[in-house]
Amino acid sequence: MKGSNYFKNVIQDYLNSQAEKDELFAKSLSKENKNIDDCINYILNQVQASGCNGFADEEVFQMAMHYYDEDDLKIGKPINARVVVNHSDFEGKKVPTQQKEQVKERSPKVVKLKSNNQVSLFDFPGV
């Protein structure tokens, strides 16, 4: 599994917080045959199988909990994936980003071709 460490840490923190609140889940989390790397691999395989590109935090957290609750899951093959995390923790608090990308705003350029035989769509309001 080559998912980001940040993604792994967010999942692990969430699972630990749930284990503190739920004694039954704490037993699932401490199973000897389960580990965070296989959990992340399971999540990545589930995401790939779904064909979707984005998931809500709760959906991903539920996949992680499901991995620990169930003993007979097929984890799937290791996936080398780039995971994008929405920079908020599981409680909805903003987490400072390590690197901020500057987005360059571009104004659209409208080019009108002037020709006797060519009509521009910009000449027709409402189109």
Domain boundaries, the chain: 5-69
Give the pLDDT of residue 64: 96
Q: How many CB atoms lie within 10 A of CB 79?
A: 15
pTM, full prediction: 0.65
pLDDT in tens, 83-96: 777 655 555 555 54
Give the pLDDT of residue 110: 45
> Any residues with CB less than 8 A from the CB of 80 and at least 6 apart, and which?
2
Low-confidence ranges of the chain (pLDDT < 70): 1-3, 86-127
Task: Tell me which long-range contacts 102-110 makes (C-beta under 8 A, separation of at least 24).
Answer: none
Bridge partners, residue 88, by sequence: 94
